[in-house]
Amino acid sequence: MKKEFMDKAKELVAQMTIEEAASQLRYDSPAIERLGIPEYNWWSEGLHGLARAGTATVFPQAIALAAAFDKDMLKSVAEVVATEARAIYNESRKQNDRDIYKGITIWSPNINIFRDPRWGRGQETYGEDPYLTATLGVEFIKGLQGDGKYLKTAACAKHAAGHSGPEATRHSFDAVISDKDLEETYLPAFEAAVKEADVAGVMGAYNRLNGEPCNGSQKLLVDIFRKKYGFEGYIVSDCWAIRDFHENHMVTSGPTESAAMAISATCDLNCGVVYLHMLKAYEEGKVSEQQIREAAERVFAIRMSLGMFADDCEYDSIDYDAVDTKESKNLAYTAAVKSAVLLKNDGILPLNKEEIKTIAVIGPTAASVNVLYGNYNGIASEYVTNIDGIRAAAGEDTRVLYAEGSHLFNDRVQNLARKSDRIAEAVFVSEHSDVVVLSLGLDSTIEGEEGDTGNAFAAGDKNSLYLPDCQQELLEAVAATGKPVIVVINTGSAMDVTFADENCNAIIQSWYSGEFGGKALADIIFGNVSPSGKLPVTFYKDGTVPDFNDYSMKGRTYRFMEGKPLYPFGFGLSYSKFSYGAPVYDSASEEIKVSVTNTGSIKADEVVEAYITSEEGAKLGDQPRYSLCGFERVSLDAGETKEVTLKLGRKAFTAVDKDGNRITPGGKYTVYVGGQQPDERSEELTGSKVQSVEIIIN
C-alpha cells in the first residue's frame, strides 16, 4: 500500500461522521454526497475472465489455466480481465450504472488448495500444490493490479483459510488444521500473495479454523496476516459469512456481537448485511470509533489507489473497444491448447484425416456450451463446442456423425426406454464410423459452489470420483463396439476413469475449456498442435482418498499420498519426446540450469518440472516425499535444444517441523528435473526418467 493513498484516505475519513464512516464498511457502499463520494459496489468477479458483467472474454477455468504451467500466460490472462473490467467500469459510470459486478475490485484469484478431488469448487483453484498455487496466484495478481501509478484493478486473494470443502456444511464446519499443515500447505500461497504480489485484498472463508470463524479470527487475520505477513490492504468477508457467526457457527449471540467480532479481527468490509448493526455495536461499547475509522481508512486507501478520486488515472481512458478483442480471443484459444492434458495415447493420436472418412462424436458434453464456461464465468460473444471444433477441423471430406448418448447426469425420473434409445443410437453411430470421439464429464450445474448447482444432495461436491452412471454405461457400450475410442473428459476436477484407461485408445482431459475449447481440442486431435498440459492435481482411484472432513494432509496429494495414483500430479503426454542433460546448480544465484532437447519430429512445448527432497528434513518426520520447487514452459522445434533456468530461492530449502516452524535443515538435498515427478508411476506412463542433482547447504 503506497503511503500517499493511505494519507489521502485518512484525510477523507477524518471528515466523515461516525455514521458515514460505518456506512462505508458494506460491499454496497452508499454515496456521501457532501464529500463528493459516489456509491460503489465492491463485488466483482474475474476468476478466468471478467464474470457476470455482460460480454467478456471467457478463458478456460482456473484449474485448466493451472494445467498450462505457464506463469507468463496467467499474467496475460489477468491483464485482459483487468482491461475489460476497467472498460466496463468506465462505460457504466457514463450511464450512472454503479450496480454489482461493474466495479474494479476483483474478488479473484481463489488460491485455496485443492486437497480433495470431491470438492466442487476445486475447479476455481490452481490445484493441489502450494508452490504452483503461490506462483500462479502471484502472477495473476500482478496482472490484475498492473504496474502503473494507480492499480488497474484491485485483486483479492481468497478464501483465507482452509477452505476446501465440503460445501454442504461450509457455513458451520470447523476445519481442524495443525500448525504444520497450515504453514506447509494451506497458507504459503496467501503469504506469497501479500509479500510478493502486494495483493490489495484478502477474503475470509466461511468455515471456522480451529474453532474461530475465519472472518473473525484473531490468530488468522491479526496475528498471521496483519502482523506476521505485514498485510496493509483490506479484508472482506465472504458473502453473508459474518451472519454465520450467530446462525450456524453459534459463537456469538446475534448480529451486533458478530459485527464486533469481525471488525475486531480487522475484517474491514462486509459482503452481507451484518455491518448494518455496526453503529449499534458502537453504541453498546462493543466497537470503538477508532476501529470503525481504521477500517474505513483501509477501504478508502484501496479506492484511492484505484484512482477513483483522481483526475490523472491512466486507466480512465479505456473504453468498450478494449472488450472482447481479437487478441483476447487468440489468448483464450492459446490457453485452451496449453491446458489440455493428454492422459493416454496408444498411437491413435493425432488422427490422420487422409485415413479417417467418418468420425462419430458422441456424448453429453460434445455439443455443450456449459462445459466451456465452468463457474464464475462471463458470457462469450462466440464459442466453439467440442463437436463444432471437430467438424471444422475434419474438413469437407470427412463425415462427422453425432449422438448424445446419455444425459449429463442420472435422471431419476428418466424414461428407461428413452435411455436405451440414446445408448442404442450411440452404438450404431459408432459402428458406422472409423473412430469415436466420446465426450464425457460434468459441468458447473453438477460440480461447483453450494447453492449454485443442481446437485442438491452433494451441494456441488462429488460423492465419488466416477462418471455418472448413465455416462459410464455409455462408455462401456461404445467401447464394446470394438471401434477405436478417444475419450474427452470435460470436468473441473480429477475423475476415476480406470475403465477408459484400460479399454480405450486415448484420453484427453479438456477441463472447462473456455470459449474456444472445442477448436483447441480439435487441433490437438488432428495434430495441428501437440498437447502440452500437465496435471495440477493427482488423479486418484475412487475410494483411496481420506475422509472428506479430515483436513490433515496425511495421505493427500502427491506429496503425502501412499500407493499408486491413476495419473500423477505433473503428468501429461506429448506427441513428441524430450531428453534432459545433467542439471547444474549455481549456489550464488540459487538457480538450476538444464538443457532440454526435443528428440521428436514435430515442434512441441515441454514443461520442465523440478522437485526437491531433503535428507535432514526427512528426519523431522511427516515430511513430503518431495515438493515442486520450480517449473518453466519451453517451446522447442524438432531437434532443438535450449537451456532452461529454474530459480529455486531460499524457501525451497526449508522444511516445516511438527510445531509449524519453518526451518532450513541444511545438509544434502536432491533436486529432480524433468517433464514429470520422480516417481515410478510417472516413469511407467512416460517411459522416461528424470535427471537429478545433489546440493549441499551448510
Q: Which helix (H) or strand (E) holds 358?
A: strand 358-362
End-to-end Cα distance, the chain: 37
> Are the beta carbons of 537 and 128 closer than 8 angstroms?
yes
> Are the beta carbons of 470 and 449 closer than 8 angstroms?
no
Backbone angles phi, psi at 170, to 5 degrees: -65, -25
- Cα Rg of the chain, angstroms: 25
Catalytic residue among 45, 70, 404, 447: 447
> Are the beta carbons of 142 and 187 closer than 8 angstroms?
no
User: Residue 644's closest CA among 693, 608, 605?
Assistant: 608
Residue 11 annotated as catalytic? no
Q: Which letter does DSSP use for residue 120 in this model?
A: G
Catalytic residue among 184, 238, 473, 523: 238
How many angstroms separate the CA atoms of 320 and 322, rounded? 5
> Residue 24: CB partners within 8 Å, gap ≥ 6?
16, 30, 32, 37, 296, 299, 300
Q: Are strands 105-106 and 201-204 parallel, antiparallel or unpaired?
A: unpaired
Q: Which residues pair with residue 122 across a beta bridge?
A: none
> Are the beta carbons of 126 and 111 closer than 8 angstroms?
yes
Residue 284 annotated as catalytic? no
Is the four-CA dihedral 632, 636, 639, 640 of positive or negative sign? negative
> Residue 518: CB partners within 8 Å, gap ≥ 6?
372, 383, 384, 385, 386, 387, 388, 389, 390
> Are the beta carbons of 202 and 237 closer than 8 angstroms?
no
How many angstroms separate the CA atoms of 165 and 186, rounded? 13
What length does the chain have? Answer: 698
470 Ramachandran zone, left/alpha/beta (phi>0; psi -120 to 50)? alpha
Give me the residue label for grid cell 455496526: 278
Per-residue b/e over 430-443, b at no fewer than 16 CB within 10 Å? beebebbbbbbbbb
% helix, strand, coil for the chain, step of 5: 35, 20, 50
Where would I find the H helices in 56-152?
A: 62-67, 71-94, 130-145
How many angstroms separate the CA atoms of 403 and 230, rounded? 57
**Strands of 125-211, DSSP E:** 154-160, 174-175, 201-204, 208-209
> Residue 570: CB partners within 8 Å, gap ≥ 6?
534, 535, 558, 607, 609, 628, 676, 677, 682
Give me the residue label for grid cell 499443515: 181
Q: Which letter does DSSP use for residue 37 in this model?
A: B
Positions marked active-site: 238, 447
